[in-house]
A and B are shown apart, each in its own frame.
Chain A
Amino acid sequence: DTGVSQDPRHKITKRGQNVTFRCDPISEHNRLYWYRQTLGQGPEFLTYFQNEAQLEKSRLLSDRFSAERPKGSFSTLEIQRTEQGDSAMYLCASSLKLRELFFGEGSRLTVL
């Protein structure tokens, strides 16, 4: 499968715990995006990488959120001290310069 893959697909955690999501983009894509989607809403931009450089972070991304793309390939999104409001679907997407995004299946987080 040469599409965007995300892991885990589902994560249930208790409030205050840390969670980490991984995204493997399409191999030749240099851009990688993280979005968050809550029920009834469209995807909200969180952050964006071009190769290994994190070029933009949304104001939605509090200090508890950190994302990395250490070698310009896969990316991780970590949420520290999770809160119930963090419950959402976290979507990863990759692209080349033509700006069409290819999305993974998403990682659904439930914070109890």
Chain B
Amino acid sequence: AQSVAQPEDQVNVAEGNPLTVKCTYSVSGNPYLFWYVQYPNRGLQFLLKYITGDNLVKGSYGFEAEFNKSQTSFHLKKPSALVSDSALYFCAVIPMNRDDKIIFGKGTRLHILP
């Protein structure tokens, strides 16, 4: 079955420290990969995507993600966390042969501690 796994329900990071939110996927073929962020009682906002090309993708608010094909991972990173980064983060994938249905992970809650 095609799926996305976010192994951590919650990640706590001190403000100013680097952060990583993990994502692994299981799909056939080469996937399209995405990260979205959700603030309380709001819809999801697009952060960044990987389609092809450079494995390191830069997105909104200083976030970046690295596509690792051998490890089937797409971890979200930021060099220096801000308290305002505290939110729910979702990894998502579209299998290359199915461009209609986007599969989301269950989400990781990120807490940035002041």
Contacts and interface: CB of A to CB of B under 8 A. Distances in A.
B100 A56 contact: yes
A99 B107 CA distance: 20
Given A42-B90, A91-B43, A105-B43, A100 B104 contact: no
B94 A99 contact: yes
B46 A100 contact: yes
B78 to A, nearest CB: 20
Contacts, number: 60
Contacts of A35: 104
Classify chain B's interface size: 20 to 34
Nearest to A108: B41
Classify chain A's interface size: 20 to 34
| Dominant SS among interface residues on chain A | strand
Interface string B31-46: 0101010000111111
Contacts of A102: 46
Given A42-B90, A103-B44, A48 B105 contact: no
A19 interface: no
Given A91-B44, A102-B46, A103-B44, A43 B90 contact: yes
B102 interface: yes
Contact of B102 (A55, A97, A101): A101
Contacts of A50: 100
A48 B32 CA distance: 18
B44 to A, nearest CB: 4
A97 B32 CA distance: 12
A48 B101 contact: yes
Contacts of B32: 99
B104 to A, nearest CB: 4
B75 interface: no
6 shortest A-B CB distances, which residue pairs? A42-B104, A103-B43, A103-B44, A105-B43, A42-B106, A43-B104
